[in-house]
Structure 1
Amino acid sequence: MCFALSVALISSNDSPDYNPCDISQWHPSQSPLLQPLNPLQTSRHLLSLLQPNTLHDVIAQAVDRYPSHELGFVTSSAHDSSIQTKTFSAFNQYVRNLARAMLEWGKPTGSVVVVYLTEHEDNMAACMGSPALSAQQAHKEGHVAHIKNLFGSATWLTNDLGAEQISTISGLEIHLLSELKASAETFNVSADWVAYEAKPDDEAILFLTSGSTGFSKAVVHTHRTILAACRAKGQSYGLTSESRVLNWVGFDHVAGSLEMHITPLLYGASQLHVHASAILADPLRLLRLIDEKSIELAFAPNFLLSKLTRDLEKRTDLFGHFDLSSIKRINSGGEAVVSKTAQAFAATMKQLSKNPSAVSFVISAGFGMTETCAGCIYDPVDVLATEPAHEFLDLGRPINGCEMRIVDPADGATLRPDGESGELQVRGPMVFSSSFVEGGWYRTGDVGIVENGVMRLSGRIKDTVIVHGVSYGIPELETHLQTVEGVTHSFLAAAPYRAPGQETEGFIIFYSPTFDLDGADASTKLFATHRALRDICVKMITLPPQFVVPIPVNQMEKTTLGKLSRARLISLFKQGQLAQHIARSEELLSEARGATYMLGIFNLAVGEMSASDNFFELGGTSIDVIRLKREGEAHFGLPEIPTIQILKHPVISSLASYVNTLLSKDSQTEEYDPIVPLQLTGNKTPIFFVHPGVGEVLIFVNLAKYFQNERPFYALRARGFEPGHPFFTSMDEMVSCYAAAVKKTQAAGPYAIAGYSYGGVVAFEVAKRLEAMGDEVKFVGLINIPPHIADRMHEIDWTGGMLNLSYFLGLVSKHDANDLAPALRSMTRKEQLEVVWKLSPPERLVELQLTAGKLDHWVDIAGSLIECGKDYNPSGSVSAVDVFYAIPLRGSKSDWLNNQLKPWSGFSRGEPSYTDVPGQHYTLMDFDHVPQFQKIFRGRLEACGLKFGQTRKFKFPDTLKRVELVRDLPLFKVLGPLQALMEGAK
């Protein structure tokens, strides 16, 4: 909160040498500077109540007028909707005591403190610091060094988790927030204690942006610019002291700190700040909070609107369940809002509302930047009452005091006529920048169109691509792409592109090949080049390119400065002038694939798929496996195509042969083999992943895709899923089986073993067994599991196991699972299953092809694994362990790390590594978090010496086909007679 301004620069009332205009003395935070408060006294105080001129005045006004208004917080570790609250008055006292305690550090006046925290309440009290640090040591050290050089500061204020991340970096003076809080409890300063009285044109907030390369740049705002923005925003939002605002954006973002905190504070509105993970893990929590707290204003970027709609539109059991009449407006920014997504979201919210006619869902797309104090242009519109005019929502008109114009980007000054695109420029009292053009206009770097006073964006000039609201630097991506064999140096460009109907921004790669596209071996070389380009893109920015366009070097034009024009290439692409190059590329790739008999899986056209294609290489996901199973059974009239067989037969010819055996009734019960190959390309050390406590390995499908052409990825699946396969009866039996299977798959070390949740302790034991055999185990990855699990296993009865599995499968929410547990324990097993079955979304049951009998059996499998763990006591050690930790099932993340996970150190002969990963225990490998998890995980593999290198040449399909090609399309359509397909695929 802006009360946090009291946790000042290290200064006091008797600090005459303090200079408020010296930027080197200010706090390098993305949130308000740790600057002292203005006194609540006499004429200045009365004046501030009439017209606040500084953030100090805003605080004084809020405390004086609305002392009992509340700040609410839902933390990252909260597993329900419990809210911690503090009144404006109480929080004011709290942060003043913190400010007084900070003086005890004895730092010289004007010292800078870098604050690195995660929770909203801590950010308000002590101000957010630098952006999240990379898990890769080299990048982390570079980023910290950059911040030190930028501000000359080596003093950091953080929590236990932050201290763990930067503890290996020398030259830092680290203070813990917990220690500062303990010190603050010894003080009780007056409610008007201050150290410095700010002036309107003093620098008030210094934001650190992530920057296109990941290193921060600084943007400074004064009290005047901030208040000009906040006054205008509040007017636009219609805020009053009775308003209630919900924010989930972190304070490291300008929207979280200014738009959703200072602006409501200026108007005396109550605020509820929710950690992002709490919303992403349980979308229903957002609706419950809106209902329970009568929320009026919230924020949701396009990707969250899309996720909420996907997760909730099929929950017919919840229709009419929530009172959403209070919500008046949802702001959306960060990336363009798809009109259909906004309409679908609003329609879903209406269906979930108790009184749909009382709900008016205004989705307000907006434009803003750090330099403009977040949003400065908005278009609040009821998307159900007013049909959007374009594919993306218009961005609207400027707030009071802000102006906009569209100019020729070539000179940055010549005005473009109404309706013509050009560079968007803005100006006004809320804009702060050191690079204005004549007339005080700021060049945003975006291409826009203004028509009848309403603005919409049509592209980007900047060297970035925005994927689900996250900005990635194109120059850095291009630098890595230039290293690919087959690419002519300096003749490659990546340009942002958003195809019609596409939910998030994508990009296209244009390049000149080093080889002749009409040469004898052109198809082989083109295939290898495109595969390598795709792999780099996925691993760097989690997304493959939409198109890769090879253009002969003599046809690739450069500017007079010797650069490729991204804007011109995109223009040529849209106009169809590159069609011949795209057609030639497809022809060569088809030749490389050796297309023969085609399946209509993924709705690919003839020539795009062959019998040798791999289901997962084409973009198949864990959900696609289930859909393939369902539609395959329907098409062939088979009672069952076991999921495990699709996993074990991902190549189309192999799967076709297996289906043929089912049709001919020649199939026999296979001998149990725990190894499930999810990815077989690459020549680096394979990774073996042990299943979590539910025994299944589908959860690893999405992760395995990121290892394509780098290293094989094998999963170990529990015994008991298939008929005739008994459950494991002891940990030793399981470990012996898995160790033997690993040795059979990879005859000699070095080995890389990992396990998720329960699988972590199994992976540890397998690694011990391999070392006992004389093999080297170079990597042991333990994901969110402590070494001592026996007590936890004894806590889980059949009811708990069923509810955990049901939550894991998306049949019930975590909230429902917790609420149901006490009542279910008094019921019979059959009755418990019936309750869960009735609560389960019918569409989800169909999607998973789940029956009550299968769920019952699955619970027994999970129960058998629990029984194996009840007597487990870790002993011995391995060469080293890598522990990855996320938000635990219960308790705080700090306690989870320090008291539950740190004991792994006693079972590691080398120095263990503890790495923070995004998400919660059950969500860290879902679609929202696996892109980040894979980057962190692969970074640790590299740090252990298992680095990426040259790959084997495998003949697999064109991997440029994106997952979006298959979403919501029939998966198992067969072209031609079945027998011809089966025989031809062989």
Structure 2
Amino acid sequence: MGQVEVPTVGFAYAEEKTTPSPTIPSNLPRVLLQAADRYPLHDLSFANPTARDLSYRSRTFSAFNQDVRKLAYAISQWAKPQGSIIVVYLTEHEDNMAAIWTCLLAGLVPCLQPALSAQQVHQHGHVAHIQRLFSPVTWLTNDFGAEQLSSIDGLEIRLFSELSALAESARVPADWVVHDAQPDDEAILYLTSGSTGFCKAVVHTHRTILAACYAKGRSYGLTSKSNVLNWVGFDHVAGSLEMHMAPLLFGASQLHVHASAILSDPICFLRLVDEKSIHLAFAPNFLLAKLTHDLEKDSDMCGRFDLSSIKRINSGGEAVVTKTAQAFTMVLKKLARDPSRVSFVLCPGFGMTETCAGCIYDRVDVPRHRSVHEFLGLGRPIDSCEMRIVDPDDGITVCHDGESGELQVRGPMLFTRYYNNPDATSSSFVDGGWFRTGDIGIIEDGELRLNGRIKDTLIVHGISYGIPELETHLQTVEGVAHSFLAAAPYRAPNQETESFLVFYSPSFDLYDAEASHKLLVTHRELGDISVKMITLAPRHIVPIPINEMEKSTLGKLSRSRLLALFNQGELTAHIAHAEKLLSAARQAAFAVPSTDSEKALATIYSRIFNVGSGEVSANDNLFELGGTSIDIIRLKHEAEAYFRLAEIPLIQILKHPVISDLARIVDSIRNRRNHEQEYDPIVPLQMTGKKTPIFFVHPAIGEVLVFVNLAKYFHNERPFYALRARGFEPGQPVFNSMGEMVACYVAAIKRTQPAGPYAIAGYSSGGIVAFEITRSLEALGDEVKFIGLVNIPPHIADHMREVDWTSGMLKLPHYLGLISKDDAHQLAPTLRLMPREKQLKAVWKLSPPERLAELRLTPAKLNHWVSIVSSFIEVCKGYHPSGTVSAIDVFYAIPPTGSRADWLNSELKPWSAFSRHAPTYTEVPGQHYTLMDSDHVPQFQKIFRGCLEVRGL
């Protein structure tokens, strides 16, 4: 078998030298053959995290090798020339893995395509760029991908399912290949994030990938007895190379799971480590922080997991905060069955698509680590990789030890070029083969620390966003002088993730009489746009007079210079003047609470938002201050206690979030003037903006608090109305039929917005109500331009036949976070044998007291709420959709049960029969019950708002 020579220069760990080394084949197809020959029974496993028992599908190396060679034979029938590019656009790890090897064995070059933008204009622009870059090119995708691409003319689209069907009858030897590749042949193309415009395609050869995999495996201590856990997508080099091909080279077994499962349920991460005896895993800083936050208060999990197998957790994508790493290890100690047997080794690393992912690592034994720095260091390069720090201005003058400068790396794992982009390639390298990473760092005693970036990207919770694109949108704000705005990455001390600063020159005089009001409006809009685009507001917004904003000879603002001025305190005067103006603007709009009720509510608001009571205005709005669903419940409880009222209806707080308005409601209740009011389902969660309002129907729980976080993202864009079920207030009857509910909701929508076009949406079971509302509005002659159905199939009655009061008793507590999904499954058979009162007691006993207190629940309130849920379930039991609407946008997440693919194809695709135009099916992060929570709503809102824009709203 041919071999590739792998240089061994640079730094290396002592432990690497004792790790048995595999034979290094001359190309990637021979890696697969070697693994199948030497370790035929080792596993490639794929987890189904939606199953209650965490089921797995496994394929041995031998079986996988045979299967992909049959697929390679099938794809060879396409008669594509050797080296043709195939854009692989698939969602599941197993399909992506098979497609990559299929192309490699057939002499084709796979290009891994990440998820396309939900915004059609961006999607079409990207696809057009890919077509120009690779022309000609073939897309290999699934039904979902084909549907996304169907509106674009001129594409050659092939389905992976059809290729698989064609391969079933193939008979090929276990070592069959179409073409025996040479080491320097193109192997795999990876697309960069496109943060500075359209993406670049990074070319990796068989030689570069093999060199990287060999060096990584040695660094990680991989052997044929290792078990590796991966959740990173295969379109990322870390997923396909670092966590698949490198382990395969060393014969290590692998477990692959969808990222959303790990991110939505941190317990899943630990269960997988426990059940599959994982040795190597990956967790970036944001996941370490999330795991710590979600698990540190979970006393029920103490000592539950065998974590003795884990030897190393790699971390990359963003800097690892030292305190976060330390807190994470404390949580692991608490949850481990035997903490003394757990290796608390965290390995922060640096890598890029151009370096085949991680190429520099530190091996940190966190409990023993005593760092004086806020972030963990990055250590030394892996075998055959070198690094240096140079003067960023000339790119060649090497800095002394401890001096800051640009990080450059070189080694055999470096990419060869950017496809069809010689200018970008040449500008990325300097003499001697050194690659310019664009990051600022320091090397001390041979170890690397990063402290900034040159490139135009911002990383928020591990996701890269393009600064130029953000700047383009921020430039549209009326108070910004044209071309005088720059955004720069910034990380404040003790900040968990990277943030950013905005520097700009106002288009108005900062010393004008109207300056304070204009500045307040400008800063609010800059913040709104930032949150909508990258889910984060600027850490600081710094207005600088235009005569002091220097540009280069090319007419550009220097982000690095502005950032340096900020860090050195040179902009303090501008910041202080802006704060003075903003404070004056706030004071001008400030209304001192005057009545006793206003003063009392202002005090409660101040406690909730941790500000001085004198800083709260009678005009302050709970939602505009950032109030969450939990804040609303806290306000209700504290106000009831202060005013000695048995009940302040939640709907009154939702409809009157401004202190002065809520004070009048409270006074009315205290004076017994608040007799039963006519039921109105409309709850205005956000009232600003001139675009078409959105009406969102409640899920089965009937309440609308689930939409509070989502509504904030529409601030100053469009009103956001939620529809709340009937029956929550004393004396209100529940709905007895779908027709009664829909007629009530349509009338309320027409009172709120008399004429279309309308935008209607529904979450979970609320989706079928949204569908029926749309039918009714269209029957009245109104135009509905958008109907968004979130994770709900049309034939819901099929799922409701066996649902009873007990199901409602379990559904609501699970939705509220009182019991887990496993608890619900295990309780169901026992509860059905109990009377209603005992069912309630059993669930109440399992519920965490702190969560019950947070929700201000009592057994009576929970019982009443379950009755509302059960009534809604009864209404849905008899529901069968009919007729059609103009067009439907379906959003799908991990389903309550079963696989995502089955959920999409078998349950959701039937909506096509009820839409006069082809529906869209868009994947959103999270699980059915978590997609609206604070972890997932930032991404959900971007996708959702993008679909509204596509519909012309």
The question of a shared fold, defined as TM-score above 0.5 by the shorter chain, is answered with: yes
Seen in structure 2, the aligned counterparts of structure 1 residues 726 and 503 have a Cα distance that, compared at 3 Å, is: same
| More off after superposition, 496-505 vs 520-529 | 520-529
User: Once the two structures are superposed, what CA deviation does each residue of 1:324-374 show, in whole Å capped at 9, x if it has no partner?
Assistant: 111111111111112222222211111111112222221211111111111
Seen in structure 2, the aligned counterparts of structure 1 residues 871 and 187 have a Cα distance that, compared at 3 Å, is: same
| 8 Å Cα contact 2:692/2:759 also seen in 1 | yes
| 8 Å Cα contact 1:314/1:843 also seen in 2 | no
| 8 Å Cα contact 2:196/2:457 also seen in 1 | no
Unpaired runs of 5+ residues, structure 2, are 1-20, 101-110, 417-424, 593-601
Match for 2:590 among 572, 590, 595? 595
Q: Please state how far the C-alpha of 1:75 moved relative to its aligned partner.
A: 4.2
Q: Please state how far the C-alpha of 1:680 moved relative to its aligned partner.
A: 0.2
Q: Please state how far the C-alpha of 1:661 moved relative to its aligned partner.
A: 5.3
Seen in structure 2, the aligned counterparts of structure 1 residues 687 and 637 have a Cα distance that, compared at 3 Å, is: same
Letter in 2 for 1:908: S
User: In the alignment, what sits opposite 1:483?
Assistant: 476
User: In the alignment, what sits opposite 1:810?
Assistant: 817
Is residue 81 of structure 1 aligned with residue 54 of structure 2?
yes
Seen in structure 2, the aligned counterparts of structure 1 residues 89 and 801 have a Cα distance that, compared at 3 Å, is: same
Seen in structure 2, the aligned counterparts of structure 1 residues 108 and 395 have a Cα distance that, compared at 3 Å, is: closer
* Inter-partner Cα distance in structure 2 for 1:76 and 1:105: 36
Q: Please state how far the C-alpha of 1:488 moved relative to its aligned partner.
A: 0.9
| 8 Å Cα contact 1:282/1:813 also seen in 2 | no
User: In the alignment, what sits opposite 1:977?
Assistant: none
Seen in structure 2, the aligned counterparts of structure 1 residues 835 and 245 have a Cα distance that, compared at 3 Å, is: farther
| 8 Å Cα contact 2:89/2:113 also seen in 1 | yes
| 8 Å Cα contact 1:474/1:494 also seen in 2 | yes
| 8 Å Cα contact 1:113/1:153 also seen in 2 | no
| 8 Å Cα contact 2:33/2:65 also seen in 1 | no
User: In the alignment, what sits opposite 1:730?
Assistant: 737
Letter in 1 for 2:200: K
User: In the alignment, what sits opposite 2:162?
Assistant: 179
User: In the alignment, what sits opposite 2:138?
Assistant: 155
User: In the alignment, what sits opposite 2:571?
Assistant: 578
| 8 Å Cα contact 1:49/1:61 also seen in 2 | no
State the secondary structure of the residue aligned to 1:413.
Answer: coil
| More off after superposition, 569-578 vs 605-614 | 605-614
| 8 Å Cα contact 1:752/1:780 also seen in 2 | yes
User: In the alignment, what sits opposite 1:870?
Assistant: 877
Number of residues of Structure 1 aligned to a counterpart in Structure 2: 900
* Inter-partner Cα distance in structure 2 for 1:663 and 1:355: 57
* Inter-partner Cα distance in structure 1 for 2:672 and 2:432: 80
State how 1:432-511 maps to structure 2 within 5 Å: 432-433=415-416, 434=425, 435-511=428-504
Structure 1 vs Structure 2: percent identity of aligned residues? Answer: 71
Q: Please state how far the C-alpha of 1:94 moved relative to its aligned partner.
A: 0.7
* Inter-partner Cα distance in structure 1 for 2:646 and 2:322: 41
User: Once the two structures are superposed, what CA deviation does each residue of 1:361-403 show, in whole Å capped at 9, x if it has no partner?
Assistant: 2121111111111111111212223233221221122112222
Seen in structure 2, the aligned counterparts of structure 1 residues 451 and 853 have a Cα distance that, compared at 3 Å, is: farther
| 8 Å Cα contact 1:76/1:277 also seen in 2 | no
Q: Please state how far the C-alpha of 1:84 moved relative to its aligned partner.
A: 0.4
Q: Please state how far the C-alpha of 1:628 moved relative to its aligned partner.
A: 4.0
Is residue 330 of structure 1 aligned with residue 325 of structure 2?
no
If the length of structure 2 is used for normalisation, what is the TM-score? 0.90
State how 1:681-760 maps to structure 2 within 5 Å: 681-760=688-767
| 8 Å Cα contact 1:317/1:841 also seen in 2 | no
Seen in structure 2, the aligned counterparts of structure 1 residues 552 and 854 have a Cα distance that, compared at 3 Å, is: same
Seen in structure 2, the aligned counterparts of structure 1 residues 431 and 326 have a Cα distance that, compared at 3 Å, is: same
* Inter-partner Cα distance in structure 2 for 1:121 and 1:214: 31
User: Once the two structures are superposed, what CA deviation does each residue of 1:251-292 show, in whole Å capped at 9, x if it has no partner?
Assistant: 010111111111111211110001111212322111111111
State the secondary structure of the residue aligned to 1:795.
Answer: coil
| 8 Å Cα contact 2:45/2:255 also seen in 1 | yes
Is residue 143 of structure 1 aligned with residue 150 of structure 2?
no
Match for 1:645 among 648, 652, 668? 652
* Inter-partner Cα distance in structure 2 for 1:245 and 1:818: 30
Seen in structure 2, the aligned counterparts of structure 1 residues 414 and 641 have a Cα distance that, compared at 3 Å, is: farther
State the secondary structure of the residue aligned to 1:105.
Answer: coil
User: Once the two structures are superposed, what CA deviation does each residue of 1:401-448 show, in whole Å capped at 9, x if it has no partner?
Assistant: 222222211111222232222111112222235432122221111111
Q: Please state how far the C-alpha of 1:669 moved relative to its aligned partner.
A: 4.4
Is residue 207 of structure 1 aligned with residue 190 of structure 2?
yes
| 8 Å Cα contact 2:184/2:207 also seen in 1 | yes
* Inter-partner Cα distance in structure 2 for 1:347 and 1:383: 10
User: Once the two structures are superposed, what CA deviation does each residue of 1:858-896 show, in whole Å capped at 9, x if it has no partner?
Assistant: 221111101111222223333333322333223343443
Q: Please state how far the C-alpha of 1:657 moved relative to its aligned partner.
A: 4.1
Match for 1:62 among 35, 38, 49? 35
User: In the alignment, what sits opposite 2:631?
Assistant: 624
State the secondary structure of the residue aligned to 1:85.
Answer: strand
- RMSD, matched Cα: 2.3
Match for 2:241 among 250, 258, 273? 258
State the secondary structure of the residue aligned to 1:83.
Answer: strand
Is residue 522 of structure 1 aligned with residue 482 of structure 2?
no
| 8 Å Cα contact 1:738/1:766 also seen in 2 | yes
* Inter-partner Cα distance in structure 1 for 2:401 and 2:636: 54
Is residue 289 of structure 1 aligned with residue 272 of structure 2?
yes
Seen in structure 2, the aligned counterparts of structure 1 residues 499 and 640 have a Cα distance that, compared at 3 Å, is: farther
| 8 Å Cα contact 1:160/1:894 also seen in 2 | no
State the secondary structure of the residue aligned to 1:503.
Answer: coil
| 8 Å Cα contact 1:220/1:432 also seen in 2 | yes
Q: Please state how far the C-alpha of 1:193 moved relative to its aligned partner.
A: 1.1
Unpaired runs of 5+ residues, structure 1, are 1-47, 947-986
| 8 Å Cα contact 2:90/2:145 also seen in 1 | yes
State how 1:192-341 maps to structure 2 within 5 Å: 192-213=175-196, 215-341=198-324
Is residue 856 of structure 1 aligned with residue 863 of structure 2?
yes
Match for 1:119 among 92, 107, 125? 92
User: In the alignment, what sits opposite 1:980?
Assistant: none
User: In the alignment, what sits opposite 1:784?
Assistant: 791
* Inter-partner Cα distance in structure 2 for 1:263 and 1:615: 52
State the secondary structure of the residue aligned to 1:86.
Answer: strand
| 8 Å Cα contact 1:75/1:119 also seen in 2 | no
* Inter-partner Cα distance in structure 1 for 2:236 and 2:367: 30
| 8 Å Cα contact 1:154/1:171 also seen in 2 | no
| 8 Å Cα contact 1:74/1:84 also seen in 2 | yes
Match for 1:98 among 56, 64, 71? 71
| 8 Å Cα contact 1:677/1:714 also seen in 2 | yes
| More off after superposition, 721-730 vs 894-903 | 894-903
Q: Please state how far the C-alpha of 1:831 moved relative to its aligned partner.
A: 3.8
Is residue 884 of structure 1 aligned with residue 891 of structure 2?
yes
Is residue 935 of structure 1 aligned with residue 930 of structure 2?
no
| 8 Å Cα contact 1:282/1:814 also seen in 2 | no
